[in-house]
Chain A
Amino acid sequence: MLSWMAWTWPTALVFIGIFSAIGVLILLEIRSPGGAARKGVLGLTTTRGDRLFITLLGTSYIFLAWLGLVGMPLWSPLGLAIAWGCFTFWKV
């Protein structure tokens, strides 16, 4: 039934990752409502959801920039992306 979607394991894992992150956010929201809004270093008021969005958007740009400017392998941008995610959830 899903053959037309041409699923592969790596892309499925990407989506499982994103959806589980959203799931975790929902659980956190049920436990402590309000989204933990705060004003971060960029001068923006962000909630947990905003921080996840900024992390994912930044991650895609880190990988795209590395692919375009440097090329394979992608271990360094992976490290950069994880660092960016930590920074976003910690400070932004």
Chain B
Amino acid sequence: MKTENQKAWFFVLPVLVLVAFNALIPMMTVVNYSVQETFGDNVFFWQGLDWFQQILRSERFHAALGRQFLFTGLILAIEVPLGIAIALSMPRKGIWVPVCLVLMALPMLIPWNVVGAMWNIFTLPDIGLLGYFLNHVLGISYDMTQDPIAAWVTIITMDVWHWTSLVVLLAYAGLVSIPDAYYQAAKIDGATNWSVFRFIQLPKMKTVLTIAILLRFMDSFNIYTEPFVLTGGGPGNSTTMLSIDLVKIALGQFDLGPAAAMSLIYFAITLLVSWLFYTLMTKDDLN
């Protein structure tokens, strides 16, 4: 007995083929590289799981992983509450709605490397607007090419500037989908602003916020271009995130085997965190 129309599968087929070519096959190649050693010319030597062991026990990997988690944790802790706050204070009706939306979308339209270059020039101590202002007007010593703290502050600020809009737009989409009846009911019950937020707006925004946090987690955990252009991973190694380290190993040192092993470990971490987060956030809905 045929109960369901299975035609939809054919519509998914093109995506499946695309994913196979741009994700699955490269991924399989990375798995193959991770157990071999090569000196170029497409000649490979079996190495077993040595690279995995080497990466898992390397101080350099632990340090980069620690910095990566610190970075992602910090930007999520700033961007999510800030994004919600901005979305809450944006107008829901009137001519200011499109103005606000366009203003919010602007930073996201700028390519990553341009953002990196912009902030690099913006924060240079002698010629940059911000750098000059801090150093020569306010008298605060600020040089992100010398001071790791300044480099971190700059990278975090840059990411917040670039990506808070994503959280804002998603949260705003969740907010405008709440029918007026909810607010009227809350008003009749004499609900405070906090209870309206806690019991109406936040639950209604849950799905879009889940997507926002997942996107921001994955994006920031894989961040490469912006810190690379801004600080080049320096000063020293202080802003060398996992992906910058990975590219250094793969292209700088041409150690394809260790780089492949590292990227698989990196992938496993991203996958686990994303899966855990998604499962926990949607657990109640499914049950």
Contact = CB atoms under 8 A, between A and B. Distances in A.
B274 to A, nearest CB: 11
Chain B contact patch, size range: 20 to 34
A6 B275 contact: no
B13 to A, nearest CB: 15
Chain A contact patch, size range: 20 to 34
Nearest to B32: A6
A15 interface: yes
A68 B57 contact: yes
Q: Main secondary structure on chain A at its contact with chain B?
A: helix
Contacts of B17: none
Contacts of A7: 32
Nearest to B287: A45
Given A6-B44, A8-B46, A64-B52, A57 B272 contact: yes
A14 to B, nearest CB: 7
Contacts of B287: 39, 43, 45
Contacts of A67: 49, 52-53, 56
Interface string B43-57: 010100100110011
A21 B73 CA distance: 36
B42 interface: yes
A68 B56 contact: yes
Contacts, number: 60
A37 B184 CA distance: 39
Nearest to A5: B29
Interface string A1-25: 0011111101100110000000000
Interface string A39-76: 10001110000000100010011001001100110100
Contacts of B53: 67-68, 71-72
Q: Main secondary structure on chain B at its contact with chain A?
A: helix
B28 A15 contact: yes
Contacts of A43: 283, 287
Contacts of B265: 64
A69 to B, nearest CB: 8
A49 B4 CA distance: 20
B74 interface: no
Contact of B279 (A6, A15, A44, A71): A44
A45 B56 CA distance: 33
Contacts of A64: 52, 56, 265, 268
B63 interface: no
B56 A3 contact: no
A31 to B, nearest CB: 13
A8 B186 CA distance: 64
A7 B46 CA distance: 11
A46 B287 CA distance: 10
Contacts of B42: 3-4, 6
Interface of B: 4, 25, 28-29, 31-33, 35-36, 38, 42, 44, 46, 49, 52-53, 56-57, 265, 268, 271-272, 275, 279, 283, 286-287
Interface of A: 3-8, 10-11, 14-15, 33, 39, 43-45, 53, 57, 60-61, 64, 67-68, 71-72, 74
Given A6-B44, A57-B268, A72-B53, 20 more contacts: A4-B29, A5-B29, A5-B32, A6-B33, A6-B38, A8-B35, A8-B46, A11-B28, A11-B35, A39-B287, A45-B287, A53-B275, A57-B272, A61-B272, A64-B268, A67-B52, A67-B53, A68-B56, A68-B57, A74-B49
